[in-house]
A and B are shown apart, each in its own frame.
Chain A
Amino acid sequence: MQTTDIGYWSVPLAIVGGAIRVSTPFIFVSLGETITERAGRANIGLEGILIFGAMSAYATAVLSNSPWLGVAAAGVSGIAAGLLHGWICKFPRVNDIAIGIALMLLGTGLAFFFGKAFIQPSAPRLPAISLGFWSDIPQLRAALDVNALFVIGAALAVFLQWAFRNTRAGLILRTVGDSSDAARAMGIDPDRVRLLATAAGGGLAAIGGGYLSLYYPGSWNESISSGQGLMAVALVVFSRWNPLGCFAAALLFGGAGALGPALQSVGVTHGYYLFYAAPYALTLAIMIATSSPGRALAGAPCELSITR
């Protein structure tokens, strides 16, 4: 492919392309965490589940030669991890945030343990959909190569936004998240709803991991994730437990994550590590700006421990 010289225009273009490419794991993890937190429980361990999902997706894709089977395997592994979290947290005096920390360490450890053998072989990649076919500029076409999982994630955000308000399951989920007592009075078992919500959250987070290893960056190694799972959990608070908000925030974060490599590609290498820290600093700044003492956050599920 012949490159057209577009100079510094490549920076905003790379940010747009990066926003689409980098945001997909954020979308899946934050939508998963939204489901879990709407039910009144927090799973901070999605980072570990994401890494384990990335490994199981890659390993399955290598062995079966099918990237979609890899995505399915990631989903199953994430659901299993979510069930573990949800089951343990049902017992009294067990702290869901602490279990999340432990799951983060265990998920990372297991992924590195079983993933050691899969660092060398290469897996088939997920296919991309080219949305830039109308343009002659190769960089633009490259930026608009969109993965199917991004489209699925966008559709899922719209669906969840609708389902939280308009379906029976959505209403049950929100009731449990706002008051266990009210749910119990209606004959709903809050522990069971939370178990399912945590399992769903884990499954989505692991699919986000599968995107990392099977599409972008598209390889499995021990530094595959640099805290995407954790930042996505922070995004949920910022987007006020709102699925469409999660989607928008994920795009913003994808753009921020693409800033460092984009500047490096046009020759700005000074302070590379500081640009690398931009997404973390941005997350923190957003958390500081949107949290406030003394009043409950608008839209926060009342039973949620992390906003207390």
Chain B
Amino acid sequence: MTETITDDPARRGERRDFATERAWIARRAEPLVIVAASLLAGCGLFSLLLLTLDKSPAQFFELLWRGGFGSWFSVQNMLSRTAPLLLAGLCVALPARLGLLIIGGEGAIALGGVAAAATGSALSSAPAPLVIAAMALAGMAAGGAWIGAIGALRHYRAVNETISGLLMAYIAIALMNHLVEGPLRDSASLNKPSTAPLPDADRIGAIPGTDVHWGLAVGIACCFLASVLIEKTSWGFAARISGGNLRAARIQGLPVGALIVAFCALAGAAAGLCGMIEVAAVHGAANASLASGYGYTGILVAFLARQNPLAIIPVAMLLGGVGAAGGLIQRRMELPDATILVLQGMVFIVVLFAETLYGRFHIFTPERWARKG
């Protein structure tokens, strides 16, 4: 036995067994496999519901594919719905990394949209790029202040953030209705009270060659930025520690309060930006359409992505496609418009239930694969 034991696989020549790589894959595969399995199980439950109603699950999923992903037309529709979901998902995922369940994104979207529309009509004579930048800033500031306040209440007054977040969402939507039907109402909008329409020059256009607006690119960029913030910066590291163990973070002297408020404000800024994009790219004015449920679907997006900003991108596309196919499914199968909501709810329950499966399957434990020989 003259062979020396070394940890460098390259020196061991043909005995290199890719242990580290295999361990890495095993660690990464666990959430992928479990989330995919719970998606399938949720769809299975939903199929059972359809069967009891004498509807065909096969037709449902065929229409889902056709309406959300099957053609260039439906892909563009899917991508247009992906854009707000990316930002609404971030609004849930960022505080979640600190252990906070803030689900009031719908309110920040509404207020961000109103703030953007008000800024847009106040600055209508300024050059278009300036107006768009000012609208984005206004939307982010309004949303950031709103969700940031929830974080501050959590930290400084110990107010439960889930309940206060939802209450704040109701207040925000009432505030939006008040502003849109009162002080900010454009007298020309008769049937659907709205703010003054933005001039075409101040609106966000489509990505060349598509019907998809630039909001998609903004949303994807925000997901990458959030990922860098969480994974590569010391702030993100401190946030992850605080989310894992608040007491340990305090003992280490981390600025927990500042982290909570900052992450909540960033989350709110993402939702506010979502509202601004909905106004500037889709509706052209702020009105009740701003509260159309993206904030609530965003909760599911974040949980399916397991609060990972990069994973939000494919999940948002998936749920964007489901939303895009909703109309087709309702018409062809004569189902109520809440069908998609039921599917989402079932998937949500199963995904949360699946949290209990982590660490139970030996095949995913990195140690098993890191073992040599």
Residues of A that sit less than 8 Å from B by CB = 44, 84, 88, 91-95, 97-99, 101-103, 105-113, 116, 226-227, 230-231, 233-234, 237, 270-274, 276-277, 280-281, 283-284, 287-288, 291-294, 306-307
Contacts and interface: CB of A to CB of B under 8 A. Distances in A.
B348 A105 contact: yes
14 contacts: A44-B162, A99-B349, A102-B348, A102-B352, A106-B342, A109-B342, A110-B338, A112-B338, A227-B167, A273-B177, A273-B182, A276-B177, A277-B170, A288-B157
Contact of A110 (B167, B335, B345, B356): B345
A101 B341 contact: no
A161 to B, nearest CB: 24
B134 interface: no
A110 B170 contact: no
B119 to A, nearest CB: 21
Contacts of B355: 93-95
Given A101-B101, A108-B341, A109-B344, A273 B175 contact: yes
A110 B101 CA distance: 24
Given A88-B353, A105-B341, A277-B174, 13 more contacts: A88-B349, A88-B352, A102-B349, A103-B349, A106-B349, A108-B341, A113-B335, A230-B163, A277-B171, A281-B171, A284-B168, A291-B159, A291-B160
Interface residues of B, number: 44
Most A CB contacts (10 A, CB to CB) among B174, B175, B299, B344 go to: B174
B240 interface: no
A273 B163 contact: no
A233 B163 contact: yes
A112 B336 contact: yes
Contacts of A109: 338, 341-342, 344-345
Interface string B328-371: 00000001111101101110110011011010000000000000
Contact of A292 (B157, B303, B339, B344): B157
A273 B170 contact: no
Contacts of B358: 93
Nearest to A230: B166
Interface string B152-179: 0101111110111011101100110110
A101 B296 CA distance: 10
A234 B175 contact: no
Contact of A271 (B178, B296, B344): B178
Contacts of B296: 105
A110 B342 CA distance: 6
A91 B299 contact: no
Contacts of B181: 273
B322 interface: no
B131 interface: no
A130 to B, nearest CB: 34
A16 B174 CA distance: 24
B158 A101 contact: no
Contacts of B352: 88, 94-95, 98-99, 102
Contacts, number: 144
A293 B171 contact: no
Given A106-B349, A293-B155, A287 B160 contact: yes
B300 interface: yes
Contacts of B168: 280, 284
Contacts of B356: 91-94
A9 to B, nearest CB: 27
A288 B353 contact: no
B157 to A, nearest CB: 5
B136 interface: no
B267 interface: no
Contacts of A291: 157-160
In the A-B complex, the 9 residue pairs with the closest CB atoms: A106-B345, A109-B341, A112-B338, A277-B174, A273-B178, A91-B356, A102-B348, A116-B336, A109-B342
A227 B170 contact: yes
Given A95-B355, A98-B303, A112-B338, A283 B158 contact: no
A284 B104 CA distance: 13
A272 B179 CA distance: 11
B174 A276 contact: yes
A283 B178 CA distance: 20
A215 B120 CA distance: 46
B101 A97 contact: yes
Given A105-B348, A271-B178, A227 B166 contact: yes
B346 A287 contact: no
A122 B341 CA distance: 25
B78 interface: no
B175 to A, nearest CB: 7
B103 interface: yes
Most A CB contacts (10 A, CB to CB) among B101, B177, B336, B352 go to: B352
Contacts of A274: 174-175, 178
Nearest to B180: A273
Contacts of A97: 101, 162
A288 B101 contact: no
A113 B336 contact: yes
Contacts of B163: 44, 230, 233-234, 287, 306
A25 B335 CA distance: 30
B229 to A, nearest CB: 23
Interface in B272-293: none
Nearest to B299: A101
A306 B346 contact: no
Nearest to A274: B178
Contacts of A101: 101, 103, 162, 299, 348
B175 A306 contact: no
Nearest to A102: B348
B160 A116 contact: no
Nearest to A271: B178
A295 to B, nearest CB: 9
A237 B164 CA distance: 12
A262 B66 CA distance: 50
A95 to B, nearest CB: 7
Interface in B27-54: none
Given A91-B356, A98-B303, A98-B352, A284 B167 contact: yes
Given A273-B174, A274-B174, A102 B345 contact: yes
